[in-house]
Structure 1
Amino acid sequence: MSAHSQHNLPPSLTGKGATLALDGHDLVRMTEEHGSPLFVFSERRLRGNARALRDAAKGGHARARIFFASKACSNLHVIKALREEGLNIEVNSGGELWKALSAGFAPGEIVFNGVAKSVPEIELALGHGIQSINVDSAFELSRIAQVAAGMGKRARVTLRLVPGIGGGATAGIQTGSEKSKFGMGQAELKEALATAKANAAHLDVAGMHLHIGSQVLDLPDFLESVRFTAEQAKAIGGELGKPLQHLNLGGGYPINYVHHNPGANAGREFDYTPYTATQSAAAMLGEVAGAAAKALGPDAEIFFEPGRAVVADCALLLSRIENVKRRGALQWLFLDAGYNLLIDAAAVRWYYHMVNASRIDAAPDTEFRMVGPLCDSADCYFDVEGEYLWADLQATLTGVAGVTPEILAALKAKVVRLPETRSLPAATGPGDTIALLDTGAYTLEEMFQYCGRQRAKAVMIGTDDRIVTLRDRDRPEDLLDAAERQGIVRTVAAE
């Protein structure tokens, strides 16, 4: 049986004898050369995703533009490649704006999002004359007007609204309702429009913006956002006496994190549905762009802000097994990568598919508990909090009239967010390399040094098959800040 049929791998991943290969490169050998843990990116996949999304948007609406949500991955090598593929960029801070400019993006290719922009950040954006500042509140609009007046400039802004549309696989990534911290409701919009009219000399309301969440799986949610945009754009344009120049429909397009097929790394009682994308991001975006062309017309530009869909499946994380224990009937395997490298595994119990890169020719026929190296019980690849909560709920509900086994099973699927075990070959053990798939988004920028763990190295396999270093592994001295390093120097000198 082939590696693809056993593990349901994407086309860029193949078996190379007993080991896993990405774009034809032996991944186990790469850990021997570059160390572990190690992020490995595929430039072919990155550029392919960018082209697919760009072409889908243009195919649906002639004036569509893709602004990559750089918070997903702002590594300079990555965003330079995306610029070369014709993508624009969305930033969320002065730091990301600086990186975008450093990568060669022109000011007109940048939009500035975010919920708490400082005066220096607004000054930076206005000083460079970027495409637009996405305004998150009536207060922020007043602040922008004041800064623009002080600089003698007219700020080009976009009003971010709350559409009241729920989207996203978990509550923490749903941004389309007033339960989230993002955007303006109708009462605040009224206040913002009054501010815009009173400060017309320094504010140019060029567009409106919304974003309903991340990993949105249902096309109807996106189509409803188009309807909302059409309605609100007409009302805002009427209030201001001019049509809006662009309409920003945000991002949130999904990828399939699950790689699910019967018997392959599937917790038998775990409901994967929240994480399974049944339609490609490009196909969904193309349909939304087509709907926008009909509902919004050909005149206004249409902006999209995908992030995860561009970079998530471009990378994997290689991690070596360093220890093994047995708890009852189950073996526990200890990786050298924990939530210090994949914070979403702990913060929102995100699922990352695992395969044994050292034994890709062997069937994943044995269940293991998978944990990380940190001195923290939450550093695990199962839902420790959910499992404890479920045990309490089950004890409370068992025997209660009307609570059927079916109800209990449905509740467990909601409470326990991750599979309790992972299926790997029976011989899996210390020294083997585990590949955690789809780790290109929200990882490199979110690593930290808890327990003195050094942040991982990241490399990219180029389209020419050369290996490029995206970031070096931390050195021991990187665990110290400048003041600490000076203290060490002073102490050594005194001795």
Structure 2
Amino acid sequence: MSRTARTVQTAQDTRAAAEWDYDRLVDIAGRHGTPVHVLDAGRLDRAARELLAALDSLSRPTRVYYSVKTNYLPYLCRRLAGHGMGADVVSGYELDAALAAGFRPEATVFNGPVKTEEELAAAVRHGVRVNIDGEQEIETLERLAAAAGRTIEVGIRISPGLPLSTSSDPSYRTLAERAARRNRFGWPAGSAQLAGLVERIAACPHLSLTAVHAHLSSQIVHQDLMAAALEPILREAAALHRTFGLREVNIGGGFGVPGIRRPRTGPLTALWGMQGGTPLPDEEPVMDVAGLLTGVDKRLGELGLADVALACEPGRWLVSDAMALVTRVMSRKELPDARWLILDGGNNVAPWTGSGEVHRMVPLGRSYAPASAAWSVAGPLCYENDIHAASVELPEDMRVGDLLCLHDTGAYSLGRSNNFIRTRAAVVAVDGDREELVWRAETGADVFRLADPGARPSESP
């Protein structure tokens, strides 16, 4: 491990932090300022190779569509396109970004609950398959395909209505089950609504139903629950295959990573805590993606889908561990009921803050005392939910000016970042000995660049 870092072990740690060159992170922070994201291209490449190897070991054709919404950094997208992956996009500008990054149109799918006519027209023009989620898409796609004088392939998104996470708290389980039944994405497996939609697609002479799509959730760590939720999807696919001759079953992504932990508590936990109770600790399983894919491959064969391709749409699983955020302690407050470390990177650059999601934190840059203390860690925003961790063990002698590395920040850190109070951070990519600024830090002028578009330059802020 680097001499400038002390790894603080927490319950969710399952990876060796020593793979990061912490001295290099300190150097990057010194030259580019903080907060700053660092992308390790080598870690990204290793994740891509691991997933592709798992898919190559299966008995059928396989496809990977990288979930562009997870991190649309052009450098990162070009890297994954270079591994031969396809792209999963959910908007028109994501489609443009994916094609510009080198993802092939025929290896790209367009998902999402809303697709404008202009976006659908672009998909048809480029030969990108659309997975239908909204029923209005059927009429629009039929009209566009007829105007183009050709038949286009489409897929349909199906929902299982089953929860993907669990907890020792029964109130959490009840809420998760209700949310799964009310899920607005896709159409319920086995439902009259799904059957009606399929009939409408079949009645369109210029549409060919060739794919089933499902995306179940995000940060799924319970492999058994994911396998159970996929079962009705696979059964529905088998029934559709007998009629339409499917070419692909796409099980989506959401594969959980071990570097973060999300809270799985409900109202009962909160009430118990108010009475001084201690919640039962929940195990945090590690998703075996290769094992999951092997099981789905086998089940597809059992259901008569031996020649149908198996596809997936990973995002977080590929990029989460490939990025880290380096941020600096700006204030230390020791209050009667809390000890606070306030950083210069908050919800604006780490948009999961306030959700209870905990990332591993590693102090950098100097030797720290062996004694630790429970710290509350927050960002700089004048916003009550800008909190990285309500309580985390860090060195007792943390002080203003110290650096902290937040791990597993590759997913949703760029696309969901914002300029509420503070501006967005830079991204520096490292690839072996090479280093490149691949996304510059936002400035105040950038924030107001779109203001008063009809004004003369002298009238603009």
**Aligned residue in 1 for 2:391:** 421
Aligned residue in 1 for 2:65? 67
- Alpha-carbon contact 1:141-1:195 (below 8 Å) kept: yes
1:366 aligns with 2:334: no
- Quickly say closer, same or farther: Cα 1:176–1:300, change in 2 above 3 A: farther
RMSD of the TM alignment (CA)?
Answer: 3.0
**AA of the residue aligned to 1:306:** P
Equivalent of residue 483 in structure 1, options 448, 451, 458: 451
- Structure 1: unaligned runs, 5 residues or longer: 15-20, 261-267, 383-419
Counterpart position of 1:313: 321
Counterparts of 1:108-147 in structure 2 under 5 Å?
108-130=106-128, 132-147=129-144
Displacement of 1:251 after TM fit? 1.1
**Which of 172, 176, 180 is the equivalent residue of 1:177?**
180
Q: Report the count of equivalent residues.
A: 435
CA distance in 2, matches of 1:343, 1:212: 22
Contact 2:241 2:305 in 1 (8 A): no
The percent identity for this pair of structures is 26
For residues 492 and 372 of structure 1, do their structure 2 counterparts lie closer, same or farther at Cα, with a shift above 3 Å needed?
closer
Which residue of the partner structure matches residue 459 of structure 1? 428
Given candidates 195, 200, 206, the residue that maps to 1:202 is: 206
Deviations 1:136-167 (A, max 9, x none): 13332223223322333322110111112211
Aligned residue identity for 2:77:
I
Give the match's secondary structure for 1:345: coil
1:148 aligned to 2:150?
no
User: 2:86 is matched by which residue type in structure 1?
Assistant: N
Give 1:39 deviation, angstroms: 0.6
1:12 CA drift (Å): 6.7
Alignment partner for residue 214 of structure 1, among 205, 214, 218? 218
| Structure 2 residue 226 is matched with structure 1 residue 249 | no
Task: State how far apart, in whole Å, the 2-side matches of 1:55 and 1:176 are.
Answer: 34
Kindly state the Cα deviation for residue 194 of structure 1 after the two structures are TM-superposed.
1.8
The AA in structure 1 aligned to 2:305 is G
CA distance in structure 2 between the partners assigned to 1:363 and 1:290 by the alignment: 50
Q: Structure 2-normalised TM-score?
A: 0.86
Provide the rounded CA distance (Å) in 1 between the counterparts of 2:367 and 2:197. 57
Cα drift, residue 269 of structure 1: 5.9
- Note closer, same or farther for the CA distance 1:311–1:269 as it changes in structure 2 (3 Å cut): farther
**Separation (CA, whole Å) in 2 of partners of 1:455 and 1:361:** 30
Q: What letter is aligned with 1:343?
A: P
Aligned to 2:24: 26
2:274 counterpart residue number: none
How far apart in 2 are the matches of 1:112 and 1:175?
Answer: 28
Unmatched 5+ residue regions in structure 2? 167-171, 263-276
The whole-number CA distance in structure 2 between the counterparts of 1:481 and 1:65 is 40
* CA distance in 1 between partners of 2:83 and 2:193 (Å): 38
Per the alignment, residue 400 of structure 2 pairs with: 430
1:49, distance to aligned residue in structure 2 (A): 0.5
Structure 1 residues 93 and 5: alpha-carbon distance in aligned structure 2, compared to 1, 3 A threshold? closer
Instruction: State the distance in 1 between where 2:160 and 2:261 align.
Output: 32
Q: Would the alpha carbon gap of residues 492 and 478 (structure 1) be closer, same or farther in structure 2, given more than 3 Å must change?
A: closer
What does residue range 371-410 of structure 1 map to in structure 2 within 5 Å? Answer: 371-382=378-389
Give the distance between the partners of 1:154 and 1:444, measured in 2 at CA. 37
In the alignment, the residues of structure 2 paired with residue 181 and residue 492 of structure 1 have an alpha-carbon distance, to the nearest angstrom, of 42
Whole-angstrom CA distance in 2 between matches of 1:148 and 1:176: 36
TM-score under structure 1 normalisation?
0.80
Asked whether the 8 Å contact 1:49–1:310 carries over to 2, the reply is: yes
Q: Summarize deviations over 1:225-278 as a string: whole Å, max 9, x none.
A: 44323321232234xx33211111111211013499xxxxxxx9677747x342
Secondary structure of 1:482 counterpart? coil
The reply to whether residue 236 of structure 1 matches residue 240 of structure 2 is yes
- Whichever structure has more helix as a proportion of its residues is 1
In structure 2, distance between residues paired with 1:469 and 1:271: 45
Find the aligned partners of 1:272 and 1:149 in 2 and give their Cα distance.
57
Looking at structure 1, the residues matched to 176 and 88 of structure 2 have their Cα atoms a distance apart, in angstroms, of: 17
Letter in structure 2 aligned against 1:140:
E
Q: Is the 8 A contact 2:209 2:244 kept in 1?
A: no
Corresponding position of 2:442: 474
Question: What's the offset of the Cα at 1:359?
Answer: 4.2
| Aligned CA distance change for structure 1 residues 106 and 84 (closer, same or farther; 3 Å) | same
- Cα displacement (A) at 1:450: 0.6
3-state SS, counterpart of residue 156 of structure 2: strand
Pick from 193, 202, 206: which aligns with 2:198?
193
Could you tell me how far apart the structure 1 residues matched to 2:302 and 2:135 are?
Answer: 30
- How has the CA–CA distance of structure 1 residues 67 and 489 changed in structure 2, closer, same or farther, with 3 Å as cutoff? same
Tell me the distance in 2 between the aligned counterparts of 1:215 and 1:4: 27
**Per-residue deviation, residues 10-31 of structure 1 (Å, max 9, x unmatched):** 76743xxxxxx82465212210
Q: How does 1:341-356 map to 2 (within 5 A)?
A: 341-346=349-354, 348-356=355-363
Q: Distance in 2 between matches of 1:422 and 1:226?
A: 36
Shift of 1:135: 0.6
